[in-house]
Amino acid sequence: MLLLDEKHRAVNDMLAAELAEVEARFAAELTSDLACVNDLVRHIERYRGKMLRPTLVLLCGTAAAPDQPIGDAHRTLSAVVEMVHMATLVHDDILDDADTRRQGATLNALRGNEAAVMLGDYLVSHAYHLCSALDNQAAARRIAAATNTVCEGELLQLANRYNWSIDEQTYFDIIDRKTGALCGVACRLGALASGAGRDVCDGLDLFGRQLGSAFQIVDDVLDLLGNEQIVGKSLGKDLEKGKLTLPLIRQLETAAPADRQKLLSLLRGEDEDRAERVGRMLINSDAVNEARNRAERFVQQAKGQLAKLPPSPARDVLEAMADAVLTRQA
Amino acid sequence: MLLLDEKHRAVNDMLAAELAEVEARFAAELTSDLACVNDLVRHIERYRGKMLRPTLVLLCGTAAAPDQPIGDAHRTLSAVVEMVHMATLVHDDILDDADTRRQGATLNALRGNEAAVMLGDYLVSHAYHLCSALDNQAAARRIAAATNTVCEGELLQLANRYNWSIDEQTYFDIIDRKTGALCGVACRLGALASGAGRDVCDGLDLFGRQLGSAFQIVDDVLDLLGNEQIVGKSLGKDLEKGKLTLPLIRQLETAAPADRQKLLSLLRGEDEDRAERVGRMLINSDAVNEARNRAERFVQQAKGQLAKLPPSPARDVLEAMADAVLTRQA
């Protein structure tokens, strides 16, 4: 992120320092007296990536009250939302039958689905344990409500496997619950921990949800671009699991009847190169652009929520994050 | 349970009334706006059985303060611990590859492991959501600490699969964490909700843990008794998963070298009737009795904890529950 202004650098410095503290709390919370547990936890440290959700907690906390420093509650909440997120990744990999994550073997590929089920449970349990250390039942209730929603999103997606006539509304509902809800609660609680009022918290929750949805759509679009073999592989896996993303859903909804039929027979059939052919049809249609447009609309809506905050370097960084969702190449 | 005294009948009436209320709260908490979710939840209603843990919350609450009525906190805590327990059953069935529970198909057999993973997650999430409605971070923290421990127990058991030289201490650690911890916290929080002091809460927590461990051992013993075909089937499944229970562990630890070798080659081998032969060896040894004796010792210890409470009908019922662990036939 090219933020050369001194005040923006100060925000980045704050993030770097605070995220390091968040990682420390994360690691401390997960430490067990049992070596076999610590061993498994070490394996998934690799999943921790960019810490998007902790970043949202910290930035929303700062943007809601720019003159107030980040405090203990922000750090704990950051570790909590990241822990929940990682639990969803570990369980998602079971549902997706995934064998790699971050250029390494997934836990389920290495140690079996059982280890992945239990470790995901361990992570969630510790997230709540850490959360209950805050003197704030309201925050705990919000996080639990968000995880309820994430679970519902996963179950809704499961229930719609192989539903080739799934509509856009259901797709948006799925991604709002699966991805949006946790991003939203991260933003809300960051602001709440800074003493923000109801309006600001509600607005930032929406920001997070719209950001999360935009991110998911762009993710799905990127999965269709690039090297045909790679596209074929990931699209192939999705189709095997009966999972449709926005470009495909749009194409099924809007294509001319003959094209729609052709696409449906491909989807229902068992051609070995089904995925490559579906991928090519999508690239050669408007579907990918239309999906990108939808992501852009979400980003505009998200930035609209930010306008309610006082101007500040932290707010600028949030705006830049929203823009970055659309410009990422991978 | 033959409790003909009027005061004991009053306790049973209290339990019947309160457990009905607990069931109602349980159902209300799990109700979603999504039909596909409610559909899955309906499937596992069958798992709800005897409501042992809610019973422990209510009885310990009453025994700790016999003149105080059961209140809202007791009911909510009861629903919470039962929800956690059911989540563990749903996930356990995945780990055990189980196809039946309570004379019906398990969720994973019916709808796949993925549905079972996500529904278990949904149950746990709602347990914490319900728990955060209490104005009591301390209770929430205790429950989360207990679920941390349950997860550790499962992971410790997983790590000891096929470990034919697993020692008794590890077995007791596993069952204490997997089964004891949640029973213990149910007892503790029931008493805490009645305003009991630290000593009483600690004592009842121990009662619950010892009761849970005794229960698990007797469960494991009963799995070896009865019709040889049935024994062969459940023992067979355990051995396939590399899971050893106390009678087998004791036999391996204490048998004469020649018998131990014979048993080990059976366990490591692939004889079709391996389970029936192992089962017969155990019945014909002291191992089953020794396991029962250990269960008896746990029950004695548990009843010892009760002695710290003032005499009351509720305390009598708890004592009867402890005795019933040893006399059950199935």
d(CA B69, CA B84): 25
pLDDT tens sequence across A101-111: 777 777 776 67
Decide if pLDDT at A189 tops 60.
yes
One-letter-per-residue 3-state SS of B223-276:
CCCCCHHHHHHHHHHHHHCCCCCHHHHHHHHHCCHHHHHHHHHHHHCCCCCHHH
Question: Based on the number of CB atoms within 10 Å of its own CB, is B87 exposed (0-12), middle (13-18) or buried (19 or more)?
Answer: buried
Question: Based on the number of CB atoms within 10 Å of its own CB, is B66 exposed (0-12), middle (13-18) or buried (19 or more)?
Answer: middle
- Say how many Å lie between the first and final Cα of chain A, rounded: 15
In the DSSP assignment, the letter for residue B310 is: P
Residue in A141, A151, A154 closest to B132 by CB? A141
The closest alpha carbon to B322, from B313, B305, B310, belongs to B305
Residue of A nearest to B126 (CA): A148
Tokens, residue B303? 């009843």
* Binary contact (A36, B132; C-beta < 8 A): no
d(CA B173, CA B178): 8
- Residues paired with B104 in a beta bridge: B101
pLDDT tens sequence across B161-198: 999 999 999 999 999 999 999 999 999 999 999 999 99
Looking at the complex, does the CB of residue B163 fall below 8 Å from at least one CB of chain A?
no
Closest CA of chain A from B117, distance in Å: 7
Tell me how far the alpha carbon of residue B242 is from its chain's centroid.
Answer: 21
What pLDDT, on a 0 to 100 scale, did the predictor assign at position B5? 76
How many other C-beta atoms lie within 10 A of the C-beta of residue B269?
8
Decide if pLDDT at B2 tops 60.
no
What pLDDT, on a 0 to 100 scale, did the predictor assign at position A3? 52
Closest CA of chain A from B183, distance in Å: 17
What pLDDT, on a 0 to 100 scale, did the predictor assign at position A2? 56
- What φ, ψ does residue A106 adopt, rounded to 5°? -70, 165
pLDDT tens sequence across A209-240: 999 999 999 999 988 887 877 788 888 888 98
What pLDDT, on a 0 to 100 scale, did the predictor assign at position A4? 57
Tokens, residue B111? 């709808």
In the DSSP assignment, the letter for residue B132 is: T
What pLDDT, on a 0 to 100 scale, did the predictor assign at position A223? 86
Tokens, residue A44? 């998934």
Question: Based on the number of CB atoms within 10 Å of its own CB, is B280 exposed (0-12), middle (13-18) or buried (19 or more)?
Answer: middle
Tokens, residue B200? 């009483």
Better-scored residue on pLDDT, B253 or A3? B253
How many other C-beta atoms lie within 10 A of the C-beta of residue B42?
11
Q: Which helix (H) or strand (E) holds A164?
A: none
Which of B33, B86, B113, B118 should we substitute to test contact with A (largest number of A Cβ atoms within 10 Å)? B118
**pTM exceeding the 0.80 threshold for the entire prediction:** yes
One-letter-per-residue 3-state SS of A249-317:
HHHHHHCCHHHHHHHHHHHHCCCCCHHHHHHHHHHCCCHHHHHHHHHHHHHHHHHHHHCCCCCCHHHHH
Amino acid identity for residue A240 in this structure: E
What pLDDT, on a 0 to 100 scale, did the predictor assign at position B59? 98
pLDDT tens sequence across B49-66: 789 999 999 999 999 999
**Is residue A147 within 8 Å of residue A120, measured between CB atoms?**
no
Looking at the complex, does the CB of residue A154 fall below 8 Å from at least one CB of chain B?
yes
DSSP per-residue letters across A218-243: HHHHHTTSS-HHHHHHHHHHHHHTT-
What pLDDT, on a 0 to 100 scale, did the predictor assign at position B107? 75
Decide if pLDDT at B3 tops 60.
no
In the DSSP assignment, the letter for residue B307 is: T
* Binary contact (B147, A158; C-beta < 8 A): no
How far from B46 is each of A37, B80, B193, CA to CA, in Å? Answer: 32, 17, 29
Closest CA of chain A from B79, distance in Å: 16
Looking at the complex, does the CB of residue B94 fall below 8 Å from at least one CB of chain A?
yes
Tokens, residue B327? 């006399």
What pLDDT, on a 0 to 100 scale, did the predictor assign at position A110? 65
What pLDDT, on a 0 to 100 scale, did the predictor assign at position A30? 97
Measured torsion, CA atoms of residues B150, B153, B157, B158, in degrees rounded to the nearest 10: 60
Looking at the complex, does the CB of residue A100 fall below 8 Å from at least one CB of chain B?
no
* Binary contact (A113, B115; C-beta < 8 A): no
Residue in A40, A150, A151 closest to B155 by CB? A40
What pLDDT, on a 0 to 100 scale, did the predictor assign at position A310? 95
How far from A144 is each of A178, A182, A285, B327, CA to CA, in Å? Answer: 14, 10, 41, 41
Residues of A in contact with B34 (CB under 8 A): 152, 155-156, 159
Closest CA of chain B from A139, distance in Å: 9
What ipTM was estimated for this complex? 0.93
- Say how many Å lie between the first and final Cα of chain B, rounded: 15
Closest CA of chain A from B130, distance in Å: 8
How far from B52 is each of A44, A80, A262, B182, CA to CA, in Å? Answer: 35, 31, 57, 11
Better-scored residue on pLDDT, A135 or A265? A265
Which of A94, A132, A150, A174 should we substitute to test contact with B (largest number of B Cβ atoms within 10 Å)? A132
Residues belonging to chain B: 330
In chain B, residues 237-266 whose CB comes closer than 8 Å to chain A = none
Closest CA of chain A from B120, distance in Å: 9
**Is residue A246 within 8 Å of residue A220, measured between CB atoms?**
yes
Tell me how far the alpha carbon of residue B109 is from its chain's centroid.
Answer: 22
**Is residue A119 within 8 Å of residue A88, measured between CB atoms?**
no
Least confident range of A5-14, A154-163, B307-316 = A5-14
Residues of B in contact with A163 (CB under 8 A): none
Looking at the complex, does the CB of residue B34 fall below 8 Å from at least one CB of chain A?
yes
**Is residue A249 within 8 Å of residue A157, measured between CB atoms?**
no
Which of B121, B135, B174 should we substitute to test contact with A (largest number of A Cβ atoms within 10 Å)? B121
Q: To the nearest whole number, what is the mean pLDDT of chain B?
A: 92
Decide if pLDDT at B4 tops 80.
no
d(CA B222, CA B212): 15
Q: Which domains does chain B have, with CATH numbers?
A: 6-325 (1.10.600.10)
Looking at the complex, does the CB of residue B115 fall below 8 Å from at least one CB of chain A?
yes
Which of B90, B113, B129, B170 should we substitute to test contact with A (largest number of A Cβ atoms within 10 Å)? B129
How far from A227 is each of A273, A276, A279, A330, CA to CA, in Å? Answer: 15, 10, 11, 12
pLDDT tens sequence across A44-73: 888 887 899 999 999 999 999 999 999 999
